[in-house]
Amino acid sequence: MDFFLEFPELGRHTLAAMRKAIDTSFIHFSREYGAALEAFFYPLLQFMIWFEKLLLSTPWPIILLIIGGLAWFGSRSVKITVGSVIAMALIGIFGMWEDTMATLAIVSVATLLCVVIGIPIGIVMARFERAQSVITPILDVMQTIPSFVYLIPVVMLLGIGKVPGLLAVCIYAIPPIVRLTNLGIRLVDRDVLEAADAFGASPRQKLFSVQVPLALPNIFAGVNQTIMMALSMVVIASMIGVRGLGVPVLKAISNQYLSLGLMNGLAIVALAIIFDRVSQTYGQRLQAYRKGFGDE
C-alpha cells in the first residue's frame, strides 16, 4: 500500500546531486561566457544610459512639450493631450520627476527592442506553420513563468543592473507583439491576398503591400499591450537594480510607507494611461479607411 500513498519520487540524494550538477554547470557557463555576454549587451547599456541622461538633462518644460506633442500626434485629441500634460505636471509637483524619467527610459527602450525583435518573429510565425508550432509554446512559457524564476539565471549571467532589468522586462513584454503580429497577418482577407497573387505580387511585395498594412491595427494592439506589460514589470525590474518608480515602491513595501507606495504606484498608472490612450487612438486612426462616408 505504501507505494500508492507516497509518490514514488527520486531519492533525496539523487535530486540534490542533479540540482548541484545543473547549478555548477550553469555557474561554469556564466563564468566562461558572462563577460562575453556583457560585452555583447554593452552597446545596449550605453544606449540606455544615454537615453536616460538625455531625459534627465532636458529641461522639464521641454519634456512636457514633447509629451504633449507626441500625445497630440498620436491621438489628435485635445482631451488626451491636455490630460497627459496635466498628469505629467502632477508627477513633477509630487517630486517623482526623476524616477519617472528613468522609468520612461527603460519602458521606451524595452518597447523599442520588443517591436524590433517581435514583429519579424511574428511575420515568420505567420509565414511558416512550423515556426508557429515551435514559437507558440515558448511564448506561453515566457508569459506564465514567474518573473523571479528567470531573474535568477539572468542575474547570474549579467549581474545586477540596467541590462538584466531590460532583459527581464523584454522577456515578459514581448509575447503580445509577436502573437498579435502573427494573428494580424493570418487574419488578412484571403480574397485580397489572392488578388495580389493574381497581379503577380512576389511574396515580399505581398508582405509589404498587403499583409503588414492590413495587419497594422492588430500589430498596434500588440504594441499597446507590450507597453502595458513593460510598465507592469517596473517594480520587479527595480529589484535587480533598475532605477525608476519601482525603487520607491519597493522601499515602501519593505518599510510599510503607505503614501510613498501609493504615490509612485499612481505615477505608474498615470504613465500607463497616457501610453495606452495615445497608442490606442493612434491605432484606431490607422483604420480610418474602414470608415464609410457617413462616419467622416
Partner 1 sequence: MSEAKIEIKNLYKVFGDHPSKVIELVQDGISKTDLLEKHGHILGLKDISLKIPNREIQVIMGLSGSGKSTLIRHINRLIEPTAGEIWIDNEDVTAMSQAALRDLRRFKTSMVFQKFALLPHRTVIENVAYGLSMQGVPEAEAHKRAMHWIERVELNGFENNYPGQLSGGMQQRVGLARALATDAEILLMDEAFSALDPLIRTGMQNILLGLQEELHKTIVFITHDLDEALRLGDNIAILRDGEMVQDGSPQDIVMRPADDYVSEFIKDINRGRVIKVGSLADPAASASDGAPIIVADTALETALSTLVAAPGQSCRITKKDGSDLGTLTLERAVAALHAPAG
Closest CB to partner 1 among 156 and 201? 201
Query: Binder to partner 1 among 3, 93, 200, 254 (CB under 8 A)?
Result: 200
Binding piece for partner 1, criterion CB under 8 A, among 173-181, 207-215, 237-245, 269-277: 207-215
Q: Whole-number minimum distance, CB 71 to partner 1, in Å?
A: 25
| CA-based torsion, 86, 92, 96, 98: positive or negative | positive
- Asked if 128 is part of the footprint of partner 1 (rule: CB under 8 A), the reply reads no
Do 156 and 184 touch, CB atoms closer than 8 A? no
Confirm or reject binding of residue 85 to partner 1 (CB under 8 A): no
Determine, following the binding rule CB under 8 A, whether residue 61 of this chain makes contact with partner 1.
Answer: no
Q: Does 285 bind partner 1 (CB under 8 A)?
A: no
CA distances from 32 to 39, 61, 228 (A): 13, 47, 36
Question: Do the Cβ atoms of 164 and 37 come closer than 8 Å?
Answer: no
129 binding partner 1? (CB under 8 A): no
From candidates 17, 60, 140, 189, binder to partner 1 by CB under 8 A = 189
Coil, strand or helix: which one is 72? helix
Site residues for partner 1, 211-250, by CB under 8 A, read 213-214, 216
Q: Can you tell me which residue has the cell 538633462?
A: 57
The reply on whether position 262 binds partner 1 by CB under 8 A is no
Our finding on whether 194 is near partner 1 (CB under 8 A) is: yes
**Opening angle at CA 47, ends 36 and 73, nearest 5:** 145
Q: What does the alpha-carbon distance between residue 31 and residue 287 come to, in Å, rounded to a whole number?
A: 51
User: For 255, which DSSP code?
Assistant: H
Chain residues binding partner 1 by CB under 8 A are 189, 191-192, 194-202, 205, 209-210, 213-214, 216, 289-293
